[in-house]
Amino acid sequence: MNIRPILTLFYFFICYHVFAQEGTISHVVTHQRKTILCDAQKGENSYPAWGVFPKENYPVRKVTMFVTLGSPDSLRTAHWDYLDHIVLRRKGGKNGAVLNYELGRMLTPYGSIYNKGWSWKWQVDVTDFAPFLRDSVEIVYTHSGFEDKTVGWALTVDFEILSGPPVVIPLGITALWNKAYKYGDVNEKIAENLLPITYTSSPGAALSRIRIQHTGHGMDKPRGCSEFCSRWRELTFDGKTVDRRDMWKKCGGNPLYPQGGTWVHDRAYWCPGDLQQPDFIDVFTRVGTHQVALQMEPYTATDNVQAVENISAYLFQYSAPKQKVDVAVESIMVPSDEQRFSRLNPASAGPRVSFRNLGADPIRSLEIVYGTKGFPVKTFHWKGNLSFNQVAEVILPGEIQEKDQENVFTVSLLKPNGKPDAWPTDNKAESVFTALQKFPTDFILEFTTNNKPADNRIFLINARQDTVFCKTGSQLAAATMYRDTLHLSEGNHSLSLVDTAGNGLQFWAQPENGDGHLRIFDLKGNLIHGFESDCGNGEMFSFNAKRGFEMKTISTQYAFSLYPRSVVDKTQLSVLSNKQSEMTVLFMVDGVLWQKHEYKSIQQAILSYDLSHLPPGRIIVEVLMDGMSRFKGRINKR
């Protein structure tokens, strides 16, 4: 059977030049807004697609896989946080050898509060698999879970390939541990399955890289393993510990927030709404026989035994780094409009960049040239000791300069260790960012605390990083409103709300914490900005203060609070705006409308609702203002 017609249906291949010299970026899109659904009978549903990747002799410098989940065109957005796998099944066409290499691991978000048009984009480095991303390749996205077919996701998988000289020469791959291993089960101990693996290095191999994707699932007793228990993992190489870490991740700082479920709860090395970043452990080795071993913290469950450690691990053999002095820009985090950096942006000052050492010699010095296009550039002299394949993150001095609306920020890395870089193409990068919102210098800050004010702090800094206003937890009383009139100098400022408990000013699953909010009004009493209360670790708002500026030309502002959201029979919705609107409030259960309330003219109100006749479980509340959806929140009825 000729595979070409099949490939035509499944892939898009777009090439474009973005750098001078020989660096070229090409894209292979295997899944283009593919609607993915659960198979409730099997618990998983696979979506294979073919892509045509570069030929075997094409020089590949870096491969990045982008994964986008969005609201599907004709269905509601799925809700649950399920574990999905992205696998390179085979290369070389339909008769190619089956490989089943896991490229990425997606933990889906709680999506019930997302409307049509919503999407989120993640990325992960998959360069280690470049030797297999050649010619005709089958990529399989496997979506797990048990939701019905009325909800789903729109999936896009896009591989970005940077051509150029490889950093190291790939010489082989060894599959290590690739399974969902039982944990805490006395009848099948994990140590009996995570057996050491011995391999013989390939001729010319000088570097062994262990790449691990690892998540914990299940909820047993007494510790809630593996999803809700912290436990250590240790990796040894030839009997020596090369990596030891706690398998735990804090979720309150997730850039994707709020979500419609328990997104702020810390978990076993993953968070809902995240494409997991794998662990990379590099070991420089001599030619010969070597042994790799993985050990989990000993643990025995006493009841509801169901914990699993889902592990995907490979060992890649490489030559020594090809160049002695070679650095590359990893990312521009600030300023940036990228979704993954939304917690850090928009920012008033302190550009933040990261770079990676791709050469054999440690990088001890570097010149970083940076600035916004159209403004004078600045130079920062970095000093440190960065070893091979490690990443340094740098906060650069100075205010972020900008013109109105869209801007482009540039960064270049020069003179690593005082020498020319081996391949300058990846020494420069650009980011697109939107200018700060204009704001008056004089305004009213209203902060209503919840029942845990000791967890919170608010502070306002100017572009010189001077703190011009601050309230700490020790200064705050529970369930109290504070109104302060602020008079600022002109220029860039950032207002930050910090929650040390990681559960924001309101979280639906913890109604005992109360309902707080942080809002800004002009001197006439009009709402001009509202913080998101369900914000996990907190939220930042940066703006450019201008004397005499009025917000009349800015679009209508809204602030909503739905509390409590874990209920028996009643809840309240408070709404605040700077103009009167027609309002519609919808209460929906599994996509079915149970209540509809319409109001002709609402600007500020507190409205009560009786939910006693609604079924128990998840209820979605949506608020439309003048026909446009402005708020969507989740209630859990007990």
d(CA 176, CA 247): 19
Q: What is the pLDDT of residue 456?
A: 97
DSSP category for residue 303: B
pLDDT exceeds cutoff 70 at 3: no
Bridge partners of 235, per DSSP, are 243, 294
Q: Report residue 526 as tokens.
A: 């009009």
| pLDDT at residue number 551 | 83
Higher-pLDDT residue of 18 and 600 is 600
Radius of gyration of the chain (CA): 26
Q: With 70 as the cut, is the pLDDT of residue 510 above it?
A: yes
Ranges of beta strands (E only) in 168-221 are 170-182, 197-200, 207-217
pLDDT at 399 over 90: yes
The amino acid present at 475, given as its one-letter code, is Q
Specify burial of residue 505 (Cβ count, 10 A radius: 0-12, 13-18, 19+).
buried
Q: Are 256 and 161 in contact (CB under 8 A)?
A: no
Average pLDDT of the residues in 113-139: 97
- The span from the CA of 95 to the CA of 525, in Å, is 70
Distance CA 637, CA 617 (A): 5
pLDDT at residue 17 is higher than 60: no
- What is the pLDDT averaged over residues 38-58? 97
Q: What gap in Å lies between CA 119 and CA 158, rounded to an integer?
A: 14
The stretch 142-161 carries a mean pLDDT of 97
Q: Answer yes or no: pTM beyond 0.75.
A: yes
Map tokens 């050649």 to a residue. 134
Q: Burial level of 97, CB count in 10 A (0-12/13-18/19+)?
A: exposed
20 band by pLDDT with thresholds 50, 70 and 90: very low
Structure confidence by residue, pLDDT tens digits, 405-456: 999 999 999 999 999 999 999 999 999 999 999 999 999 999 999 999 999 9
Nearest CA among 158, 113, 130 for reference residue 257:
113
From the list 279, 349, 311, the residue with the least C-alpha distance to 183 is: 311
**AA letter at 93:** G
In the Cβ-directed half-sphere of 101, how many Cα atoms lie within 13 Å?
23
Q: Which of 37, 171, 174, 158 is nearest to 104 (CA)?
A: 158
Residue for token digits 């509809």?
A: 596
Q: Name the pLDDT band for 554 (thresholds 50, 70, 90).
A: low
Q: What is the pLDDT of residue 553?
A: 54
- As separate numbers, helices (DSSP H) first and strands (DSSP E) second, the chain gives 1, 41
Which DSSP symbol is given to 266?
A: -
Under a CB-based contact definition with an 8 Å cutoff, are residues 291 and 239 in contact? yes
Other Cβ atoms less than 10 A from the Cβ of 467: the count is 9
Dump the DSSP string for 535-553. -TTEEEEEEEEETT--GGG
HSE toward the beta carbon, residue 194, CA cutoff 13 A: 24
Give residue 447's pLDDT.
Answer: 98
Residue with tokens 């910090």: 498
| pLDDT tens profile 300-311 | 999 999 999 999
pLDDT digits (tens, 9 = 90+) for 28-37: 999 999 999 9
User: Bridge partners of 66?
Assistant: 123, 158
Task: Decide if 231 contacts 78 (C-beta within 8 A).
Answer: no
**pLDDT value of position 23:** 85
Instruction: Determine the Cα angle at 25 with ends 23 and 26, to 5°.
Output: 140
Q: What domains can you pick out in the chain, each with its CATH number?
A: 168-321 (2.60.120.230), 436-555 (2.60.40), 558-637 (2.60.40.1930)
Neighbours of 200 (CB within 10 A): 12
Residue 137 — pLDDT band, cuts 50, 70, 90? very high
Note the pLDDT of residue 555. Answer: 76
Amino acid 22: pLDDT: 67
Write down the pLDDT at residue 8.
30
96, two tokens: 């190619």
SS3 track for 322-365: CCCCCEEEEEEEECCCCHHHCCCCCCCECCEEEEEECCCCCEEE
Question: Would you state the pLDDT for residue 552?
Answer: 76
Q: 260-272 pLDDT, tens per residue?
A: 999 999 999 999 9
Distance CA 138, CA 375 (A): 46
User: One-letter amino acid identity for 38?
Assistant: C
Q: What is the mean pLDDT of the chain?
A: 95
Q: Which two tokens stand for residue 223?
A: 């510790």
Q: How far is CA 541 from CA 113, 253, 447, 493, 529, in A?
A: 23, 15, 14, 8, 9
pLDDT tens for each residue of 248-295: 999 999 999 999 999 999 999 999 999 999 999 999 999 999 999 999
Q: Which residues pair with 244 in a beta bridge?
A: 234
Percent of all residues in the chain with a pLDDT value above 90, rounded to a whole number: 95
**Residue 61: beta bridge partners?**
none
Q: How confident is the model at residue 11 (pLDDT cuts 50, 70, 90)?
A: very low
pLDDT > 70 fraction of the chain, expressed in percent and rounded: 96
The SS3 call for residue 597 is strand
Of the pLDDT bands very low, low, confident and very high (cuts 50, 70, 90), residue 150 is very high
pLDDT category of residue 12 using cuts at 50, 70 and 90: very low
Q: Tokens 């890289």 identify what position?
A: 209
Q: Please tell me the predicted confidence (pLDDT) of residue 14.
A: 33
β-pairing, 240-246 with 378-386? unpaired
Task: With a cut of 60, say whether residue 216 has pLDDT above it.
Answer: yes
pLDDT digits (tens, 9 = 90+) for 595-635: 999 999 999 999 999 999 999 999 999 999 999 999 999 99
- How many angstroms separate the CA atoms of 589 and 585, rounded? 14
For residue range 527-552, list pLDDT tens digits in order.
999 999 999 999 999 999 999 998 87
Here the tokens at position 606 are 């507190």
> Which tokens hold the place of 193?
């399955």
Please choose, from the candidates 505, 515, 492, the residue with its C-alpha nearest in 3D space to the C-alpha of residue 437. 492
Q: Which residues contact 399 (CB under 8 A, 6 or more apart)?
A: 348, 349, 463, 491, 492
